[in-house]
A and B are shown apart, each in its own frame.
Chain A
Amino acid sequence: MKLLTHNLLSSHVPGLRPGGGFPLRIEVREGKCEGRDPPETPPVPAPPSPLRGRGRLVEIPLLPFSLPPEPLPDYEANEEFLRRLHHVLLEVEVLEGSLQCPDSGRRFPISRGVPNMLLTEEEA
């Protein structure tokens, strides 16, 4: 699971308060990080970020460096920031672990990089 996907997912356990269930807490048993810490990478043209101002950045235990909690005001012109963001959203992956609903505590397991968002029939 890439962190971009995590940024779009929400828990869907029945009976959540409105707007609840987001962001899901990430628990990592095994992760993968492609490329290196962006400050060390040579200055290649940064791919445009697919985030386009829709996202909300969250605290992620896997990151090799820190990101500001919210997008910077002029982030679309800030190449350094975009590059870091691209790295975080598309090159960092959770292979084994789980996503935990912040409200109900329900865990959605991630195995071989694939989150399983199904609920059991009792829950649904």
Chain B
Amino acid sequence: LYGGQFSSEQEIHVNSPFWILSIPSEEMARGLMKRTVCAKSIFELWGHGRSAGELYESLKNYPTDKMLPYLQSDSTYKIHIHTFNKTLTQAQKIKKIDALEFLPFKGKVNLKTPEHIFWILEDYGMNPNDVPEEPIHLYFGRWIADGQRELIESYSVKKRHFIGNTSMDACLSFIMANHARVKPNDIVYDPFVGTGGLLISSAHFGAYVCGTDIDYNTIHGLGKASRKNQKWRGPDENIRANLRQYGLEKYYLDALVADFSRPIWRKGMLFDAIITDPPYGIREAPRRMGSQKETVKSAEKSTENHFFISSSYHLSDIFFDLLKFGAEYLVMGGRLVYWLPIYRPEYTEEIIPRHPCLKLISNCEQMLSSHTSRRLITMEKVKEFKDQDENSYLLDGQYLPYRGHNSFREKYFSGVTKRIAKEEKDNQK
């Protein structure tokens, strides 16, 4: 997004809260921190080591000309100390800060509004029951920027005006917007918009957002409330009011009542990103317009005396439609980001749906239970969409695990059903 690559210099320690990256410029580091909700702060690393001695040695080897601009006599500074998994007394902290005397600090200490802030970071491992006497790794560096962790709090679903049963967690919603590389003035679309939680993060980054959902009541903010202790939705519960709550109303385009399996958009590359969480039948039933009377799941009478019937919408068809839609309606380089539910014992890379126009960019897992999880799939459009003939690639057994309506639901609850069956058996004995 900020036009650069960075690499990890360090082998990733799965359990370390610190990560050393090599980033070409400070500008890029700041850009990165303007977007990420996953990192707390970024520092220019001046030295590190497995013990205090190693750290000092490493600091002495850091080129002085790189340090000096920040140590001028007319500048002000302060030094912080952060210990991970251990609390130090003030005296211990001061001792550690004083030990850095050998660095050529010429500026004045200013604790309130320093120009430069330096941090000592000490890692005492991950186990709170076995905290070592000395840190296992130490770092020293100049503070550059903080990440966007506070967004998680300020956009928390708990405080949001209009929510649904499956509103996306604020943190995940920001991660999705970042995966989709949402930029100012993009148009972002969510075909299963629900209460619009996913659009809020995109609007935060300055994109115009729109969404559709088949549920008339949700789009209009009618019906039963999802919140505890509140029975019915209030008069102004809708996606627009949500964006207004965060001062983002100008990025609201529209919310429509529509069936994703029907082509309501004119042909063309309309959207810069598609971010969505398709219904997979655990807390919200997947559905589309039906043609069989016996599959009446919900018959709702809307104010325009439209009588419509939703029928089941197979998961395999949802993903089929979603990829095809992305391939057709995304701009080149535009991204499709969505969640794919996985029955873990059956998971292999091969079951990730593919399309010749879309390249898989990333695939991350979030555990839901011991046997199910969902994967955040990010795909980028790399090839122009050419009419219907490309559908054929999509078929071929790839979707078998999702064949049959609610197959994921059945698997999700399989553990529970087995347990109930067992208990019943035990009771009979």
Report yes or no: B257 in contact with A5, Cβ–Cβ below 8 A: no
- Candidates B250, B264, B269, B270; contact of A117 at CB < 8 Å: B264
Is B29 in the interface zone, CB < 8 Å from A?
A: no
Which of B259, B266, B290, B302 is A8 in contact with, Cβ under 8 Å?
Answer: B266
Q: Report yes or no: B306 in contact with A54, Cβ–Cβ below 8 A.
A: no
Contact B208 A50 (CB under 8 A): yes
Q: Is the CB of A121 within 8 A of B291?
A: yes
A113 to B252, CA, bound (A): 12
**What is the number of residues of chain B that contact chain A, defined by CB distance less than 8 Å?**
37
Q: Give how many A-B residue pairs fall within 8 Å (CB-CB).
A: 94
Interface residues of B in 277-312 (CB under 8 A from A): 289-291, 302-304, 306-309
A118 touches B306 (CB 8 A): yes
Residues in A whose Cβ lies below 8 Å from that of B267: 10, 19
Contact A22 B266, CB 8 Å, known A48-B185, A111-B303, A121-B309: yes
B187 at the interface (CB under 8 A from A): yes
Categorize the interface residue count of chain A: 20 to 34
Residues of chain A lying within 8 A (CB to CB) of residue B304: 109, 111, 116
**A12, B185: Cβ atoms under 8 Å?**
no
- Is A2 touching B254 in the complex (CB atoms < 8 A)? yes
Beta-carbon contacts of B254-280 to A below 8 Å, as 1s and 0s? Answer: 111111001111111110000000000
Contacts of A19 in B (CB 8 A): 267
Task: Give complex CA distance A22, B264 in Å.
Answer: 10
Stretch in B65-73, B214-222, B372-380, B398-406 touching the partner:
B214-222
For the complex, what is the distance from the CA of A47 to the CA of B210, rounded to whole Å? 18
For the complex, is A38 an interface residue (Cβ under 8 Å from B)? no
Instruction: With both chains docked as a complex, state the minimum distance between the C-beta of B332 and any C-beta of chain A, in angstroms.
Output: 13
A124–B182 CA distance with the chains assembled, in angstroms: 35
Q: Is the CB of B262 within 8 A of A117?
A: yes
Q: Which residue of B lies closest to A109 (CB)?
A: B304
- Within 8 Å by CB of A114, from B186, B187, B257, B259, lies B257
Q: A109 → chain B, closest Cβ, in Å?
A: 4
Residue of B nearest to A93 (CB): B254
B39 within 8 A of A: no
CB distance from B259 to the nearest CB of A (A): 6
Q: In the bound complex, what is the Cα–Cα distance between A2 and B210 (angstroms)? A: 11
B253 at the interface (CB under 8 A from A): yes
Question: Which residues of B does A touch, CB under 8 Å?
Answer: 185-187, 208, 210, 212, 214, 216, 219-220, 250, 253-259, 262-270, 289-291, 302-304, 306-309
Which residues in A have some Cβ–Cβ distance to B below 8 Å?
Answer: 1-2, 4-5, 8-10, 12, 19, 21-22, 47-48, 50, 54, 90, 109, 111-121, 124
18 A-B residue pairs with CB within 8 Å: A5-B253, A8-B265, A9-B266, A10-B263, A10-B266, A50-B208, A54-B270, A90-B250, A109-B304, A111-B303, A115-B257, A116-B306, A117-B257, A118-B216, A120-B307, A121-B290, A121-B291, A121-B309
